[in-house]
Amino acid sequence: MTFGPEVLLERLDALETAGNRPDRYVIALSGGLDSAVLAHALAVSRERHGKSLLAVHVDHQLHPESASWNDYCRKLAGTLGIEYVAETVSVDPAGGGGLEAAARSARYSALARHTADGDWLLSAHHRNDQAETLLLNLMRGSGPAGLAGIGLLTRFAAGWLVRPLIDVSRDALQAYAAEHELCWIDDPSNEDLRFDRNYLRHEVLPELDQRWPGVVERLARSAGLAAEAALMLDELAAIDLQGVGGRAARIDIAGLLALSDARQRNLLRYAVRQAGLPAPGAARLATVLDSVPRAREDAQPLVEWEGAAVRRYRGNLYLLPPLSEPILPPEGQPFVAAPVSLGPGMGVLRLAPGAPRGMSGAIVERGLSVRTRRGGEEIKLAGQKHTKKIKKLLQEEGVVPWMRERLPLVYAGEQLVAVADLWIAADAVSEPGTAVCWDERPELH
């Protein structure tokens, strides 16, 4: 097939819906053939698509000539009349996934900073990239979601990540570049066969194409079929999730065990994604299903992998990000107009004046601070004759054990006036008053 602005606009138009119509196209401009063609096609058709354009170039500082690549991209954007911004990132290859994965993570973090609400970040991945990704994921033992390869449209930062060239061949892009006399950057690292993708591109796929002509198109078609299968599995998982409580971060164990083994695994993979956690490997997923749901009722099993943890409490399975140790100083942190960060995975505590029920003005005027639990704290609640141990209240409320020691306590001087956003002391409460709000609160129950 041939490629031109008409083909590009047709694909972009087909992806628009009433609830997902971009205000701006943000172009991930590496300076290579693919992104140069994408930028050119968008620039020459701007009167028809009517979107503003921003090109973002990310310098990974992994090649001595990378600064000159920035200069080239800046000139290309200027020639095409596209707003341009460059980001320089540091790549840490010791993160566990290797250099390629570290560079990709740094790149997308930089691109996210320029993708606002209503933006589509356009990446120039094409059909050959799709074939390589399918083979890479096949070698990793991936399931349908991995074999679906590169997604066409996915949520990203505050906007969407869109790959409108995913069905276009590299040959078609080269033909377009030749027709319009475009120049581009050839990154020498793309020839380094130490990288798996380059090995597939230069060694494996040419051999496969000699044996089975058109193999790239066939692999791309297989990726499309796998994507359909993955979508159906997600739809099934969404139905199953409703049957186990409807919350990705907290799953009813009895409902989970009532499903077949395959549906249990499918549901957990889906729930992990919905909870915003990194996917577990097959072995770790098997460990979760073998040990956590079937643990003794009084046990507190824990299965962890990088960036996630699975726990059990009172018949529920909890999917959690890693919980940090309390970061508040022992003497507490002043709690005034500015919100108080409670650390990674713990959210933010803030005051909300004018709430229907909260702390009285007199209490707030005394000056508030936030502390973590030390043990032995007591509080008297409205309608109760006696004070109660915080420990006892948390047990009665069914707060999960791993959060009990991490709950923030609000003090006025040395008087405990509120336990997180759960309770306010009887002699501190007022209607209306200043409420304690806990944004991005971890699961407590």
Tell me: pLDDT of 324 over 80: no
Q: Are residues 215 and 359 in the same domain?
A: no
Q: Are residues 217 and 252 in the same domain?
A: no
Q: Which structural domain range is residue 276 located in?
A: 244-320
How many domains would you assign to the chain? 3
Q: pLDDT tens digits, residue range 124-150?
A: 999 999 999 999 999 888 888 888 888
Q: pLDDT tens digits, residue range 248-277?
A: 999 999 999 999 999 999 999 999 999 888
**Domain presence at residue 374:** yes
- pTM surpassing 0.75? no
Look at residues 271, 299, 320 and tell me which one is the last residue of a structural domain: 320
Tell me: pLDDT of 365 over 80: yes
Q: What percent of the chain has pLDDT over 70?
A: 98
d(CA 31, CA 57): 8
What confidence score (pLDDT) does residue 62 get?
80
Task: Give the pair of three-digit tokens for residue 9.
Answer: 């606009």
Q: Are residues 308 and 348 in the same domain?
A: no
**Domain presence at residue 99:** yes
Tell me: pLDDT of 340 over 60: yes
Q: pLDDT tens digits, residue range 191-240?
A: 888 888 889 999 999 999 999 999 999 999 999 899 899 999 999 999 99
What confidence score (pLDDT) does residue 382 get?
84
What confidence score (pLDDT) does residue 11 get?
92
At residue 398, φ and ψ (nearest 5 deg) are 80, 25
* CA atoms in the 13 A half-sphere facing the CB of 420: 24
**Domain presence at residue 325:** no
Tell me: pLDDT of 17 over 70: yes
8 Å CB contact between 408 and 417: no
**Domain presence at residue 238:** no
Q: Are residues 51 and 158 in the same domain?
A: yes
Work out the pLDDT band at 95, boundaries 50, 70, 90.
low
What confidence score (pLDDT) does residue 97 get?
65
**Domain presence at residue 227:** no
What confidence score (pLDDT) does residue 215 get?
92
Among 282, 255, 19, 251, smallest CA distance to 145 is for 282
d(CA 314, CA 245): 14
Task: Spell 407-439 as b/e; 16+ CB within 10 A means b.
Answer: bbbbbbeeebbbbbbbbbbeebbbeebbbbbbe
What confidence score (pLDDT) does residue 332 get?
84
Q: Are residues 13 and 95 in the same domain?
A: yes
**Domain presence at residue 235:** no
Mean of the pLDDT values across residues 101-123? 91
Work out the pLDDT band at 170, boundaries 50, 70, 90.
very high
Task: Indicate the average pLDDT of the chain.
Answer: 89
Which of the pair, 380 or 299, is modelled with greater confidence? 380
Q: How far from 191 is each of 97, 123, 137, 185, 196, CA to CA, in Å?
A: 20, 21, 21, 13, 11
Q: Are residues 46 and 119 in the same domain?
A: yes
Q: Are residues 275 and 172 in the same domain?
A: no
* CATH number for the domain harbouring residue 314: 1.20.59.20
8 Å CB contact between 410 and 369: yes
Place of tokens 């209503």: 118
Q: Are residues 257 and 187 in the same domain?
A: no
**Is 435 in a helix, a strand, or coil?**
strand
Q: pLDDT tens digits, residue range 414-441?
A: 899 999 999 999 999 999 999 999 998 8
Which of the pair, 418 or 385, is modelled with greater confidence? 418
Mean of the pLDDT values across residues 58-79? 90
Q: Are residues 211 and 84 in the same domain?
A: yes
Tell me: pLDDT of 175 over 90: yes
Q: What percent of the chain has pLDDT over 90?
A: 54
Asked whether the CA dihedral 301, 305, 306, 309 is positive or negative, the reply is negative
Q: Are residues 272 and 198 in the same domain?
A: no
Q: How far from 355 is each of 268, 351, 365, 367, 436, CA to CA, in Å?
A: 38, 10, 16, 18, 9
Which amino acid does the sequence have at 83? E
d(CA 340, CA 346): 11
Q: Are residues 205 and 56 in the same domain?
A: yes
Tell me: pLDDT of 96 over 60: no
Q: Are residues 104 and 206 in the same domain?
A: yes
**Domain presence at residue 210:** yes
What confidence score (pLDDT) does residue 38 get?
97
Mean of the pLDDT values across residues 54-81? 92
**Domain presence at residue 226:** no
